[in-house]
A = this chain, B = another copy of it.
């Protein structure tokens, strides 16, 4: 069997129409090599803090930890056990990485037309120099080639960090994280890896692990948290600790952006119910709505940018959750509204020059209906890039189509890769840069903007807006 080498078109993601393509290419040529600004993502800081860290086998790098990959394989009947995903009960799963890789290779056609497919092709070719098309036939050859590369010093996390030209990389860290890796990076003089403060678990009043998280919060801050006031104080202390290690932002994931200020006594009463394990789901919702107001207030004080990721119903498949835990590809979006739910927060802080709120949605119908109109009014507000399922060629195009006419590009927050798949970072930024340049080329050839404007906007979308939005 001979296999044709994979070729990535230098004009991929560009319109086939020659005048638009030509302009897209020339805009792209000016921004393709700009440093990467990565203000939101899920790379483990330990990967960079430890000079000896390695990515492991190809299966461990590309498959097991990537819920984008797992979900499509699962949707076509491949059990997660066969992909080496650890079971919570320690039951048997496939442990042979080569076998796992082969299963993935056999199903690689499932990714045709998906961004994951595009990123993977691009990683294999441009990061690892593998130009054979992945399939059952080539699985072993490619596995060997990757294994070989991953053993080389040029393919350690630190080496790739440098090669990827990353100017800044923010991780996402629980409020109760000890930040050991981040401290160690700072100690070594790395200032371009920054933590992000994510306190979600501490709002989940009914979760089994809530009390232990709270205990950890107390321990880390040296504060005794016996009630709501202490809780708020401890959160403030942790925010300071994050800031001291370079944090620029906080991150909050909620099912709905409902915001509402409770009275001190109401908030205290809810917290008390949680402490005595009597909190209900309704209590969690009200407490979350209140805490979003509190976090906004804190952001006004300490300047941390507030990111709000809204609308994912986590762990839709309970059987899978119980067997394998979270983040296995079964988080499903729900309809999201913003105008009324965010009114309390935006009325309180939306005009404040010291506040910055960045919104992310999984409901595209809210782009033009609510998000762009809101961002086109409130000075504190910026719109995050298309998130998750919409971090894709068409997802980006729809996003730009839907929001720019209403809010312009200067109320956008640029791009972030939001990934734990470190090796996919350049591919993801590259798609964004290509799509935005092509979109601007489209605006230009249809006479909406001129070439000079397009070039300035391409730079902003590729680089400037993200830096500005996160105040780097």
Contacts and interface: CB of A to CB of B under 8 A. Distances in A.
Interface of A: 4, 7-9, 11-17, 19-20, 71-72, 74-77, 109-115, 117-118, 313, 316-320, 329-335, 337, 339-340, 343, 346-347, 350-351, 353, 362-365, 368-370, 372-379, 381, 389-390, 392-395, 398, 401-402, 404-411, 442-443, 445-450, 452-453, 456-457
A19 B16 contact: yes
A317 B369 contact: no
B410 A390 contact: no
B339 A333 contact: yes
Contacts of A406: 114, 389, 392
Given A74-B377, A332-B370, A381-B75, A317 B113 contact: no
A335 B339 CA distance: 9
Contacts of A339: 313, 316, 332-334
Contact of A335 (B316, B332, B369): B369
B14 A17 contact: no
Given A346-B317, A377-B317, A364 B369 contact: yes
A75 B379 contact: yes
A109 to B, nearest CB: 7
B405 A333 contact: no
A347 B319 contact: yes
A378 B368 CA distance: 28
Contacts of A377: 71, 74-75, 316-317, 329-330, 332
Contact of A12 (B4, B19, B374, B446): B446
Contact of A446 (B15, B332, B337, B364): B15
Contact of A329 (B343, B350, B376, B392): B376
A332 B374 contact: yes
Contacts of A76: 379, 410-411
A8 B337 contact: no
A392 to B, nearest CB: 4
5 contacts: A72-B376, A111-B408, A113-B409, A317-B378, A318-B347
Given A20-B16, A75-B378, A381-B75, A447 B8 contact: yes
Nearest to A343: B316
A393 B446 contact: yes
B405 A394 contact: yes
A408 B17 contact: no
A319 B317 CA distance: 44
A112 B457 contact: yes
Contact of A364 (B77, B350, B368): B368
A334 B329 contact: no
A330 B334 CA distance: 26
Contact of A411 (B16, B75, B318, B330): B75
B12 A447 contact: yes
A4 B451 CA distance: 12
A112 B408 contact: yes
A404 B114 contact: yes
A254 to B, nearest CB: 15
B77 A393 contact: no
